Amino acid sequence: MKQQIIDLLDKNIEGMTAAEIEPLLEVPPKPDMGDFAFPCFRLAKTMKKAPQMIAQDIKEAIGEVDFLEKIEVAGAYLNFYIDKLTYVRSMVEAASGEDFGSSKEGEGKTICIDYSSPNVAKNFHVGHLRTTIIGNSLYKIFSKLGYKVERINHLGDWGTQFGKLIVAYKKWGSKEAVEEKGIAELMELYVRFHKEAEADDSLNDEARAWFVRMEQGDEEALSIWQWFKDISLVEYKRTYELLGMEFDHYTGESFYRDKTDEIINLLSDKGLLTTSEGAKIVDLEAYDMAPALIQKKDGSTIYATRDLAAIYYRKRTYDFCKCLYVTGQEQKLHFAQVFKVIELMGNEWAPEQLVHIPYGLVSLEGAKLSSRNGNIIYAEDILKEAIGKIKEIMDEKNPDLPGKDEIARKVGIGAIIFHDLYNQRIKDVSFKWEQVLNFDGETGPYAQYTYVRCASILRQAPDFSFGGDIDYEVISDGASVDLLKELVRYPEVVKQAAEKFEPFMISRYVIAVAQAFNKFYNENRVNVDDKKVRDARMSLVYLTGKIVKDALELLGIECPERM
């Protein structure tokens, strides 16, 4: 319907193309103002007429059209009222497609997404959930639009922190304790190192020396480092499995350590490197940024050098059209420096194709998290706690429900994910259990329950099959039309979420659909004796369930069939 109106306007407005008309066409805030509205302000300058007169002229030029009930001029707006039954039929047909919400815009294109990326030998805490949840949703959204997405877990598995950990292990740790307690023991050693180093700064010198040994290929140093990394990966993968997430590549910082020499040589050849207090830097003062440190005075590299090497490797290997970095807001300057250095190296594609996707802080009941002082909440613990709390609610409300453990997992994990993705990613997130696990209001369990209710209604009519003849008159009432209007927005919402790198647009959309469905369901009995009435309304139930489930999957949330 929208496209048909765009075509009408295109034929009857001189000097404007369909591509220019499309973004101007609006959906009015109230149904009595029409189904679509076109503002004529922009035409006033070129046509030398008042917008209201222009609207009237366009209305007369269009005349009567089969699919339109009427066209009205309201001030500077041209309001289109689509024939109700035609409108309902077109919306049902649009939403019925198996690939509704998908597109082929990304066909033949690759996007790299760098996300999650925990620091090895540090436990996967609740703060890491944000990058993991946001990145996974962006992967699903771009895949929906036809892109090939490379999911990259850029593990923090190289750097001076490993020198610190080796020193701590050598001084205060034991093989038995690490093997028994795993990453928890490594964290205790890491925290102790920082406390001891406050009183004895020579420990930091020892740590730097151990890292230099790692960079130079020292067998003992690399053996201990690899052991720490293997222990960490086992625990990380257990958390990813709980979340239902996977990665294509676990290529952390260490993967690029033999690729940094090329970067340093390229920077030197292009005259971008200067020496400052023995270290090699790229001066970015002309761009109002601090210098980018490339190589320390002891000859070791830093994570910025490895990020530069990673970009070159990914561009050559995957030929990405975009490379997205999902990290905290506090890394904004770091990525601005890295991207600018890549551009200065002669890569004109950098400003458009390299994108930092920042997000706000995460806290538990307002307590900020930190790994240095030990104030951490483990992600696995919070996920299991969510599952446990959901199971308690289910034991109380529906004790005989079969498959409770799996349902509790889907609802508990879904609650955490939805809570994280319900607001713009730049906003801080505070986990409060009474909000996260609420079955009412704008929450994950409420969204999942909408699908469960649809599935339950459909089970009550085993002879119903979507795709038969539909009496569109039955579903032309206000609540039904409002629900359909929400459903058909889905492809546009998916596209906007990708363009703005904002999964919250999907979660808000799901809530809008859920609210519209509840209104429809409260105003219309579905499982009635009249088969034509029942099947027409069942068709809306079917479409709602299908789209809600698909949208929640884009957030990384699974839908149970019962709750």
3-state helix/strand/coil string of 3-58 = HHHHHHHHHHCCCCCHHHHHHHCECCCCHHHCCEEEECHHHHHHHCCCHHHHHHHH
CB 218 within 8 A of CB 123: no
Torsion of CA 261, 262, 265, 267, to 10 degrees: -110
3-state helix/strand/coil string of 65-101 = CCCEEEEEEECCEEEEEECHHHHHHHHHHHHHCCCCC
CB 425 within 8 A of CB 360: yes
Q: Which of 11, 59, 128, 384 is catalytic?
A: 128
For residue 184, give the nearest of 221, 242, 235 by alpha carbon: 235
Q: Which two structure tokens, joined as six digits, stand for 403?
A: 């498959």
Q: Which of 48, 125, 175, 389 is catalytic?
A: 125
Helix axes 531-555, 490-500, angle to 10 degrees: 10
How far, CA to CA in Å, does 191 sit from each of 198, 214, 367, 370? 11, 21, 18, 10
Q: Which two structure tokens, joined as six digits, stand for 494?
A: 């998916």
Angle at 231 (CA atoms; ends 256, 313), nearest 5 degrees: 15
* Catalytic residue list contains 128: yes
CB 137 within 8 A of CB 555: yes
For residue 334, give the nearest of 293, 277, 383, 365 by alpha carbon: 293
Distance separating the N- and C-terminal Cα atoms of the chain: 38
The CA radius of gyration of the chain, in Å to the nearest whole number, is 29
For residue 429, give the nearest of 128, 154, 122 by alpha carbon: 128
**In b/e form, how buried is each residue of 551-560, taking b as 16+ CB within 10 angstroms?**
bbebbbbbbb
Angle at 461 (CA atoms; ends 455, 467), nearest 5 degrees: 85
Which segments within 86-236 are labelled E, that is strand?
110-114, 148-152
* Catalytic residue list contains 125: yes
Phi, psi at 364, each rounded to 5°: -115, 110
Beta bridge partners of 148: 110
* Catalytic residue list contains 334: no
Q: Which of 11, 30, 109, 122 is catalytic?
A: 122
Question: In the block, which residue shows the tokens 């990708």?
Answer: 498
**In b/e form, how buried is each residue of 62-72, taking b as 16+ CB within 10 angstroms?**
beeeebbeebe
Query: Which residues participate in catalysis according to the annotation?
Result: 122, 125, 128
